[in-house]
Each structure stands twice: as C-alpha cells, then as structure tokens.
Amino acid sequence: MKSYSSYFAVSVLIFLSVYMFSCQKEEDESHQEYEILIYGREVCSNCEKLMRKCDDNNVDYTFYDIDKDSEKRNEMQQKCWEAGFGNSGSVTLPIVDVILADTSYLYENPSFADISAVLPEK
C-alpha cells in the first residue's frame, strides 16, 4: 500500500508541475514587452497632456527633455530624419517612439489613442 501511495503522490506532483509550466508559458506569450520613449520639453502642453493620459491609463513611458539632454535630442532628430519627419526643419512635439518587439512606431504629436492602438492588450 505504501508504494501505491508514493506512485500516486509522484504522479500528482508531475501533473501539477506540467500544468503550472504550461500556464506560465501561455502567460509569458500573451505578455509582450513594450517601451515608450517620449521626446519633448518640460514646458510643452502637448507633452504634458500625453504624459498625463499615459499616467491615467497606467501606461509606462520614459520622458526625455530635449532641452536638457543633447544626446537624446540628437537621437530624436536622427529618428525623425530617418522617418521623414521635420524635413522642413521643425517638428511638433512630442515625438514618441513606441518599441514593440523589434518594431519601432514613431509618431509626431500623437494622441493617446494613436499610441494605445499599437500596444498589446492588458
């Protein structure tokens, strides 16, 4: 009787381990990482409005003040040039780069709806 109990206990443990692993794998596949980079100015009403909407909707982002960080300003300008924004010499802030997997979605003064449209569902 003792050996039957041991086999049963081991079988239950194996089943639970396999079940838990498969559930974890499904969660990992459904949770896609993203990164939102907002390039703007501290005193930019469009930037403030977008960041407030992100905060209100629990959407994480990183803000770069292009007046205080010349490296990030140059990075933003390079991205804009590559995307064909600002060829006339100016852009409307904020510039937002949504990076999802290996794809970058670059926006000039987007609405929150524009950004959330490419984000994975929670």
Residues 84-100 have a mean pLDDT of 90
Give the model's pLDDT for residue 30.
45
Question: Would you state the structure tokens that stand for residue 120, as one six-digit string?
Answer: 């994975």
Determine the structural domain holding residue 51 and report its residue range.
34-116
In this predicted structure, the answer to whether residue 33 has a pLDDT above a threshold of 80 is yes
Contact between residue 61 and residue 85 where contact means Cβ atoms under 8 Å apart: no
For residues 46 and 26, state if they share a domain.
no
Alpha-carbon distances, residue 69 vs 51, 63, 74, 98 (angstroms)? 18, 11, 9, 20
Residues 39-49 have a mean pLDDT of 97
Contact between residue 80 and residue 86 where contact means Cβ atoms under 8 Å apart: yes
Higher pLDDT, 50 or 6: 50
- Domain presence at residue 20: yes
Sign, Cα dihedral of 98, 104, 109, 114: negative
- Domain presence at residue 38: yes
CA–CA dist 19, 53 (Å, integer)? 39
- Domain presence at residue 79: yes
- Domain presence at residue 122: no
Q: How much is the pTM?
A: 0.73
Give the model's pLDDT for residue 88.
74
